[in-house]
Amino acid sequence: MMAAAADELRVAECYQCGKCTAGCPVAARMDRMPNQIVRQVQMGDLEGAMASAAIWECVSCQTCTTRCPKSVDCAGVMDMLRALSAERPSPAQERHHTILFQHAFLKNIRRHGRLNELELVGTFKTAVFAKNLAVPFLFKDAMLAPKMAQRGKLKLAGGSVRDREVVGRIFDRCLRGTDS
């Protein structure tokens, strides 16, 4: 299945020109450059590529994919690696804020149909705290709340979706990988 995905993303076409890395806004902070990650996938080293923290720092801005002279979908490679590692999470990866945030986000929309922002902040912060026991992070941005409330930007409940059950069924079918 992964070989098929890599084919679709045109990974085999990469000739290591480095244009993806040159335009990447977060390459400077990555432990491995986007072109190196594409190379690992090209060589079949998915485990190695998945172990990189860089895949969680990618901001999905699509600059790499847009500029690739060989039409390799580099941003799609990042998605593929994230999806793979989400299926097989290791304790180390789970600690990563981005994963915790994305899981909290999906849980939230599965439950409400639309994002309930306040609940997301709570779930995410609790999840990070449970992993890292970092107290400062728990209270970070607490000062922002009154300023947001003052501007009418804090809502206690998100909008309501009448047919919320269908959202749960859509999630089930997608996560199970079947459409029955």
Partner 1 sequence: MELGYYPGCALHGTSNDYEDSVRACLDALGVGLKEVNDWICCGATAAHSINHKLSIALPARNLALAERDGFGEILAPCPMCSMELLKAAGLMKTDGALRQEMGRIVELPCEGRTTVLNLIQVFQKVGIENIKAAVKRPLEGLKAACYYGCLLTRPPETLRFDDCERPSSMEAVVAALGGATVEWNYKTECCGAGMTMANEDIVLDLSHKILTNAAAHGANCVVVACPMCHVNLDMKQADIERRYSVRHGMTIYYLSDLVGRALGLTDEALGINRHFVYGG
- Nearest CA among 96, 15, 9, 21 for reference residue 52: 96
Q: Residue 16 CB, nearest distance to partner 1 (Å)?
A: 21
User: How many angstroms separate the CA atoms of 87 and 84, rounded?
Assistant: 5
Closest CB 156 distance from partner 1, rounded Å: 11
Nearer to partner 1, 46 or 86 (CB): 86
Smallest gap, in angstroms, from Cβ of residue 39 to partner 1?
21
Q: CB–CB of 134/128 below 8 Å? A: yes
Cβ distance to partner 1 smaller for residue 12 or 144: 144
Q: How far is the CB of 124 from partner 1 (least distance, A)?
A: 6
Are 82 and 56 spatial neighbours (Cβ–Cβ below 8 Å)? yes
> Contact at 8 Å (CB) between 109 and 167?
yes
The sign of the CA dihedral 83, 89, 42, 64 is: positive
Residues 6+ apart with CB under 8 A from 177: none
* Closer CB to partner 1, 47 or 155, in the complex: 155
CB of 36 to partner 1, least distance (A): 19
Query: 14 or 100: whose CB is closer to partner 1?
Result: 100
Contact 46, 80 (CB under 8 A): no
- Kindly list the residues in this chain that would bind partner 1 in the complex (CB under 8 A): 25-26, 29, 56-57, 59-63, 65-66, 75, 79-80, 82-83, 86, 97-98, 100-103, 105-106, 109, 113-115, 117, 120-121, 124, 144, 147-148, 151-153, 155, 158-159, 161-163, 166-167, 169-171, 173-175, 177, 179-180
